[in-house]
């Protein structure tokens, strides 16, 4: 799991850096979290929950994968690739949301 853990750690550092960079630059107190096909936000969240909640979500996903690998290894297949994909996808979507919130995209 070493390569997956390296990807996970890098993605986590990028997300935390993105939060530290973006939080003071986001003007409002709410951040759009999802957009419709017309390009308008469908729902939003308070700024701190939107930013730091994604970090907590990513750590929770890692904890679930670790628990499964530790306590039921015979039922877990492809944990490395799953963790890598989850890390990259969650980090990329988080970067998109933060940049969109500070109007860089």
Tell me how far apart the alpha carbons of residues 34 and 70 are, in angstroms, rounded to a whole number. 34
Tokens linked to 102: 């500070």
Tell me how far apart the alpha carbons of residues 83 and 97 are, in angstroms, rounded to a whole number. 21
Tell me how far apart the alpha carbons of residues 55 and 21 are, in angstroms, rounded to a whole number. 14
Give the pLDDT of residue 104: 63
Tell me how far apart the alpha carbons of residues 103 and 83 are, in angstroms, rounded to a whole number. 30
Give the pLDDT of residue 52: 97
Query: Kind and range of the H or E element at 105?
Result: none
Give the pLDDT of residue 1: 65
pLDDT tens-digit series, residues 76-89:
998 899 999 999 99
- List the chain domain ranges: 2-101
pLDDT tens-digit series, residues 43-94:
999 999 999 999 999 999 999 999 999 999 999 998 899 999 999 999 999 9
């Amino acid at each position: 799991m070493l390569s997956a853990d390296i990807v996970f750690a890098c993605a986590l550092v990028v997300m935390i850096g993105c939060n530290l960079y973006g939080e003071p630059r986001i003007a409002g107190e709410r951040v759009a979290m999802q957009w419709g096909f017309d390009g308008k936000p469908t729902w939003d969240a308070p700024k701190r929950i939107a930013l730091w909640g994604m970090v907590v979500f990513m750590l929770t996903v890692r904890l679930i994968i670790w628990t499964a690998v530790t306590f039921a290894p015979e039922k877990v297949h492809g944990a490395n690739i799953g963790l890598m994909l989850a890390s990259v996808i969650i980090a990329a979507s988080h970067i998109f949301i933060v940049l969109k919130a500070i109007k860089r995209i």
